Amino acid sequence: MKNILNITNGDNAVELMCKAQLPGDYLPWRDVLHEGPVPGDLTLDELSVIRSKYIVEKGWGEPDVIIESFSARDKQLKGCHQYHKVILWFEHDLYDQLQILQILDWFYLHPDEVVNLSMVCVDQYLGRQSPETIKQLITFEQPVSQQQLALANQAWTAFCSSTPEHWYGLLNKDTSALTFLDGAITRLLEEYPSMSTGLSRTAEQSLIIISEGEISPGKLFGRYMATEERQFLGDLSFWGILQSLLDGNLITLEVANGEPNQLPCGRNSQLSITTLGIDVLSGEQKSFGHAPLDRWIGGVYLTKENLWCWDADSHTIIKQ
């Protein structure tokens, strides 16, 4: 039997673990689960087909490489019974918390697949560690409890549900068994269209930064990241969200100097907020009144006919 399988949030963490010479094999969990469809009642293999297709359509890599990556990942997870021990290495942010839920849900549904399951989950970004400091994080290792597995199963099922009500309902339950889950629940809800503007928190915050005078695309992502208590968004996802503000009927943002409205743009380009953008930020108009809604959050498919909004004032999710 092999010694240890280390499952973590991506290639940067794996690279550091290798440099630190942490014992065992490594499995990076490469998926941006807070973006795109994650419907429920599917096997790991069935969901991976949907997720790989989405990432291919986003243009985030070579199709064959992406599809093979998901297949190899799932095969390695399903072969975890070959290991004496599995350690999950993750962070406190939304990106990682959703990955934790998916992996723990799989172990909940396959209780005989692993001899010894533990987790290192910290409020430090793994990819920003040094080989020396990431090695020290093993002191935070804790056995995964049955309570954590059951909570992950409940939360993952809620995330994959076709309505956000079950995910929102977790805020009224005791989720302390998974220390950082509560914050992830709220942060995902904030990506639903806002009751006041129709924009996600990410899109709205970015427009605010631009309206306050930050016109440099090169600085915008950093300024946005500074607004996040738990940074989770990659630059590709960020520019994809902003691109939606440049396209179609919802032109709340534009690239100045007559350049193409395509992000990311050149270093010397300048971004500006449009008159419609100002009206949307002020609440005079709603963004979904100008552009068709066609977006997934977990298992929820948002359309004009299935429009759910987040009310930040009352801290509730409301169907329009």
Domain ranges (residues) in the chain: 2-189, 201-292
The C-alpha atoms of residue 42 and residue 48 are separated, in whole angstroms, by 9
- What is the average pLDDT across 215-241? 91
The C-alpha atoms of residue 103 and residue 153 are separated, in whole angstroms, by 9
Q: Which of 42, 61, 153 is nearest to 107 (CA)?
A: 153
Higher confidence at residue 264 or residue 220?
Answer: 220
pLDDT of the residue at 258: 61
pLDDT digits (tens, 9 = 90+) for 118-136: 999 999 999 999 999 999 9
- Assess whether pLDDT exceeds 80 at residue 224: yes
CATH of the domain spanning 201-292? 1.10.10.10
pTM over 0.75: yes
Annotation: CATH topology of 2-189: Dna Topoisomerase Vi A Subunit; Chain: A, domain 2 (3.40.1360)
pLDDT digits (tens, 9 = 90+) for 262-318: 777 766 788 889 898 899 999 888 887 666 789 999 999 999 999 999 999 999 999
Whole-number percent of the chain with pLDDT over 70: 96
- Assess whether pLDDT exceeds 60 at residue 168: yes
pLDDT digits (tens, 9 = 90+) for 74-124: 999 999 999 999 999 999 999 999 999 999 999 999 988 777 999 999 999
